Amino acid sequence: MASQNRVDWVDYAKGFCIVMVVMMHSTLGVEAAVGHESWMHVAVAFAKPFRMPDFFLISGLFLARVIDRDWRTYLDRKVVHFAYFYVLWVTIQFAFKAPGFAAEQGVLGVVKLYAESFIEPFGTLWFIYLLPIFFVITKLARNVPVVVVWTILAALEIAHIQTGWTVIDEFANRFVYFYTGYVLAARIFQIAATVQARPTLAAGGLMLWALFNGFYVWIGAADRPFISLTLGLIGAVAVVSVSALMAKSDVFSGLRTLGKNSIVVYLAFFLGMAGSRAALLRSGIIPDAGTVALVVTACGIGVAVALFAAVRGTALKFLFERPAWARLGSAPRLTLQPAE
């Protein structure tokens, strides 16, 4: 079903991705605390090959509509927007974690870590740190032959560069998916339309993909050169297909709502995640680590959505809506709309 001025399956895809991201952080955090893996680790491992590739591919889908705008407007929409939320939320995260950092490294250590967070992305916020870089480079390279750019980016992913610096490593590992979403947007929309027109055939294809992806994860080969790129691209298409099928019904409308507000969940899920994890593990009320991880995932998402609802229309709306002073001059006003 189509919502006015929106592409529903894109919102489903973003919702699907943000749930997987929160689930990953929640599960790994719980497992690190208890010292062993849980049954939720299977789902996290299965999603790893395509979780972030799909997020970046979807992020590039609508870029063709805006890439030729003047630089002032483009930078406002694609750089300043994300920079504002990064600075704001890295500061909020530090406010919560500063006491622990200070106990270990002292006040000067906290100041140093905060300063370093503008060079080395902090915690979960690396995604919105990288997006502006991708937007700017893609605009600068828009007149370079697509095959040249894509081949270079694919080679970077295949190289599996590991320098220890998040920006360099994730740039090399993820840019190819963002660029693919940009240059193949029309084809991706055609795939979604075909899936919706032939749901039975699409469901069969998805079952084969699940076996294919699961096999490489099971044998421990999903991270190998060439295989990781293949699984990332095919998995991203699989998420598009699943999302297109979901969009034919309102049964999973809650996932669509999460997709519409995916940046809200991404920015604030750590609040509910950290608090619920500490409380559940301390109380021991749920003995199974996998169930704890599942509950922590729900709390991370739920608290973020609740906070967003609570601050809308209040003086605290700046937490999720960029204020006028944080915009570039005459650039048009931007609200939180994921579908561009």
The single-letter DSSP state of residue 337 is: -
Residue 330: the pLDDT is 54
Check: CB of residue 276 under 8 Å from CB of residue 295: yes
Question: Rounded CA gap, 226 and 234, in Å?
Answer: 12
Of 147, 141, 171, 149, the C-alpha closest to 159 is: 171
Question: Rounded CA gap, 192 and 202, in Å?
Answer: 10
Question: Rounded CA gap, 277 and 328, in Å?
Answer: 40
Show Cβ contacts of residue 198 under 8 Å, excluding neighbours closer than 6 positions.
Answer: none
Q: What values do phi and psi take at 269, rounded to 5?
A: -65, -25
- The pTM of this model reads 0.92
Whether 337 maps to a domain, the answer reads no
Whether 12 maps to a domain, the answer reads yes
Q: How many other CB atoms are there within 10 angstroms of residue 95's CB atom? A: 9
Check: CB of residue 300 under 8 Å from CB of residue 267: no
Check: CB of residue 265 under 8 Å from CB of residue 23: no
Whether 265 maps to a domain, the answer reads yes
**57 CB-contact burial (10 Å; exposed 0-12 / middle 13-18 / buried 19+):** buried
150-168 confidence digits (pLDDT tens)? 999 999 999 999 999 999 9
Whether 340 maps to a domain, the answer reads no
Tokens of 326: 């944080």
Tokens of 112: 């140093």
The one-letter amino acid code at 332 reads: P
Residue 331: the pLDDT is 47
217-274 confidence digits (pLDDT tens)? 999 999 999 999 999 999 999 999 999 999 988 888 889 999 999 999 999 999 999 9
Instruction: Give the chain's domain count.
Output: 1
Whether 95 maps to a domain, the answer reads yes
Residue 4: the pLDDT is 47
Whether 274 maps to a domain, the answer reads yes
Q: How many other CB atoms are there within 10 angstroms of residue 101's CB atom? A: 17
Averaged pLDDT in 10-residue chunks for the chain of 340 residues: 67 94 96 95 96 95 93 94 95 87 83 90 91 97 96 97 95 98 96 96 96 97 96 97 92 90 94 95 95 97 96 94 86 41
Whether 334 maps to a domain, the answer reads no
Q: Dump the DSSP string for 194-259.
A: HHHH-HHHHHHHHHHHHHHHHHHHHTT-TTSTTHHHHHHHHHHHHHHHHHHHHTTSSTTHHHHHHH
Structural domain harbouring 142: 8-326
Q: How many other CB atoms are there within 10 angstroms of residue 188's CB atom? A: 21
3-state secondary structure 140-192: HCCCCCHHHHHHHHHHHHHHCCCCCCHHHHHHHHHHHHHHHHHHCHHHHHHHH
Q: Dump the DSSP string for 253-276.
A: HHHHHHHHTHHHHHHHHHHHHHHH
Whether 254 maps to a domain, the answer reads yes
Residue 2: the pLDDT is 43
Residue 5: the pLDDT is 55
> Which string of b and e fits 25-42 if b means at least 16 CB within 10 Å?
bbbbbbbeeeeebbebbe
The one-letter amino acid code at 197 reads: A
Residue 97: the pLDDT is 85
Tokens of 65: 């509509």
**102 CB-contact burial (10 Å; exposed 0-12 / middle 13-18 / buried 19+):** middle
